[in-house]
């Protein structure tokens, strides 16, 4: 190998087209009076980072390889380096098997958002929208990658040749650019607080893996100063319906054509028993325990007991994920209950009002596949679009125009919030409410702090009493 210590690094060139628009930034340097070496970058940060690396190596007296124009040490480093795209795919594959479907998709979204900041060139770049789709649905998807259509495969091949090496992230400016891309929208504005936190966490976890693979000495993302956007997590009180509004909404659901009658009980288990939508869709007939009917001595007919409570035992949840992210290609993925071990269940009381609704539903609609209580008109899984469409129509029917334009019961999930609020305002001990709702007491107080009636009145009375005693 022929080397030299004679190196000149020139000022970065700004490349422009005939209209004066900047197209790239080119770094130029010379080794031992030979023809100049040139390297182009799509943005000035990447160019400055590369140029600074050359200058640092030259100042440190490192030998440069005359065959490549780069420091000899870089050649040794490259033997254990890999491109960002190759690494990102390797990270996805490592996380795929143990990860839930939704988390698989979250990883793909975060890596897709990050990658544009780590491109080395724009020459031959596919359409931005098509490239994002290629990354998110195919490249950063272990199940789909090898089956990508020809046009997608070409886009991913371009990406594989056009991303910086992972080692480039050791530079603080490059790492900052990657983080900024991860936590921003396509237009450059800040992403939603929950998205920003999630994407930053995923990027940091990915680079922990890069450290494990010895591609980086330390994780640059964790070293960057970053102020997480504030997330209250509190339920907005304006979303919570009262009992009269809830009953009106359930009645309006029943009036909807086709699926309306079969969805009344679906929404009722959220309002009366606090089930999450993904728990309700997975409910089976043998998960419901209803009280025995009693015989009316005057008529001889069987009736609901006056104060007959039942119970719902929740075993699993089946969140909507999408076929791209489940192992079996189903739309939903059955998972353990939130915040629970795989074999743990959660019993929930079933008040008399819900008992009547469920008994009527079970009499009219026989159990679906696998004993499902709620299923689509054609017998399969209950589609998200079906119950969301029905809910939107019911809100317009049951609420005033002003209420319908507000956040009041905007989502079916808000029925669960109304249920938990009812339990708390009814004086049920927080520990018991937390058990039924599947929360910790700490989370319960934080999330529902604004939905507990009367606490401010009680607090004011206590202050007045204390002032009178002083």
Q: Inter-axis angle of helices 413-425 and 260-273, to 10 degrees?
A: 40
Mean pLDDT, the chain, as a whole number?
88
Q: Each residue of 130-156: pLDDT tens digit?
A: 999 999 999 999 999 999 999 999 999
Tens-digit pLDDT profile for residues 294-304: 888 887 788 77
pLDDT of residue 470 exceeding 60, the answer is: no
Residues in the chain: 470
- The share of the chain scoring above pLDDT 70, in percent, equals 93
Beta partners for residue 4, in sequence order: 64
> What is the per-residue pLDDT across 112-126, written as a single tens digit (0 to 9) for each?
999 999 998 888 899
The domain 237-456 having CATH identifier 1.10.443.10: the answer here is: yes
Tell me the β-bridge partners of 269: none
Please tell me the predicted confidence (pLDDT) of residue 453: 47
Instruction: Say if residue 454's pLDDT is above 50.
Output: no
Please tell me the distance from the alpha carbon of residue 16 to that of residue 25, in angstroms, as a whole number. Answer: 9
pLDDT 10s digits, 28-45: 999 988 888 888 888 888
- The answer to whether the CB of 10 falls within 8 A of the CB of 3 is no
For residue 188, the 8-state DSSP code is: S
Whole-structure pTM value: 0.72
The pLDDT of residue 260 is: 92
pLDDT score recorded for residue 402: 95
Helices 384-398 and 243-254: crossing angle in degrees, nearest 10, is 120
Structure confidence by residue, pLDDT tens digits, 379-412: 788 889 999 999 999 999 999 999 999 999 999 9
The CA distance from 343 to 410, in Å, is 33
Give the mean model confidence (pLDDT) for residues 338-362. 87
Torsion of CA 40, 41, 47, 51, to 10 degrees: -30
pLDDT of amino acid 6 = 93
User: Where are the chain's structural domains?
Assistant: 3-78, 84-223, 237-456
CA–CA–CA angle 84, 126, 83 (5° rounding): 10
Q: Could you tell me if 217 and 223 are in contact, meaning their C-beta atoms sit under 8 angstroms apart?
A: no
pLDDT band at 449; cut points 50, 70, 90: low
CA gap 103, 146 in Å, rounded:
21
> Is the pLDDT at 266 greater than 70, yes or no?
yes
pLDDT at 466 over 80: no
Asked if 249 and 395 touch (Cβ cutoff 8 Å), the reply is yes
Q: Over 90: is that where the pLDDT of 180 sits?
A: yes
Question: Higher model confidence: residue 243 or residue 228?
Answer: 243
What are the Cα distances from residue 456, in Å, to 237, 285, 459?
A: 14, 42, 5
> What confidence tier does 460 reach under pLDDT thresholds 50, 70, 90?
low
């Amino acid at each position: 190998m022929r080397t030299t210590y004679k190196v000149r690094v020139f000022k970065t060139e700004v490349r422009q087209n005939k209209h004066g628009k900047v197209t790239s930034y080119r770094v130029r340097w010379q080794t031992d009076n030979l023809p100049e070496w040139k390297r182009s970058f799509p943005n000035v940060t990447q160019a400055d980072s590369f140029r600074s690396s050359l200058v640092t190596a030259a100042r440190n007296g490192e030998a440069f390889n005359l065959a490549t124009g780069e420091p000899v040490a870089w050649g040794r480093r490259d033997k254990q380096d890999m491109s960002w795209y190759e690494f990102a795919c390797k990270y996805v594959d490592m996380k795929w098997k143990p990860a839930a479907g939704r988390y698989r998709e979250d990883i793909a979204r975060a890596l897709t958002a990050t990658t544009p900041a780590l491109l080395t060139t724009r020459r031959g770049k596919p359409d931005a929208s098509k490239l994002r789709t290629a990354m998110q649905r195919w490249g950063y998807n272990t199940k789909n990658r090898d089956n990508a259509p020809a046009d997608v495969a070409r886009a991913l091949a371009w990406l594989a040749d056009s991303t910086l090496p992972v080692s480039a992230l050791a530079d603080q400016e490059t790492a900052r650019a990657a983080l900024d891309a991860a936590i921003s929208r396509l237009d450059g504005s800040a992403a939603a607080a929950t998205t920003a936190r999630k994407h930053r966490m995923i990027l940091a976890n990915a680079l922990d893996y890069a450290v494990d693979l010895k591609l980086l000495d330390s994780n640059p993302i964790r070293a960057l100063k970053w102020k997480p956007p504030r997330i209250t997590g509190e339920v907005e009180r304006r979303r919570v319906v009262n009992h009269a509004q809830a009953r009106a909404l359930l009645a309006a659901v029943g009036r909807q054509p086709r699926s309306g009658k079969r969805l009344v009980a679906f929404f009722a288990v959220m309002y009366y028993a606090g089930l999450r939508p993904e728990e309700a869709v997975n409910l089976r007939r043998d998960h419901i325990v209803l009280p025995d009917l009693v015989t009316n001595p005057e008529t001889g007919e069987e009736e609901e007991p006056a104060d007959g409570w039942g119970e719902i035992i929740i075993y699993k949840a089946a969140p909507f994920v999408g076929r791209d992210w489940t192992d079996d290609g189903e739309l939903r993925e059955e998972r353990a209950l939130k915040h629970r071990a795989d074999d743990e269940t959660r019993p929930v009381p079933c008040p008399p009002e819900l008992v009547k609704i469920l008994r009527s539903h079970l009499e009219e609609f026989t159990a679906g596949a696998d004993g499902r209580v709620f299923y689509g008109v054609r017998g399969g899984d209950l589609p998200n679009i079906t119950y969301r469409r029905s809910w939107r129509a019911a809100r317009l029917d049951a609420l005033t125009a002003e209420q319908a334009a507000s956040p009041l019961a905007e989502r079916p999930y808000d029925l669960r919030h109304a249920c938990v609020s009812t339990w708390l305002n009814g004086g049920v001990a927080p520990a018991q409410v937390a058990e039924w709702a599947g929360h910790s007491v700490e989370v319960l107080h934080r999330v529902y702090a604004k939905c507990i009636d009367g606490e401010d009145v009680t607090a004011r009375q206590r202050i007045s009493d204390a002032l009178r005693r002083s």
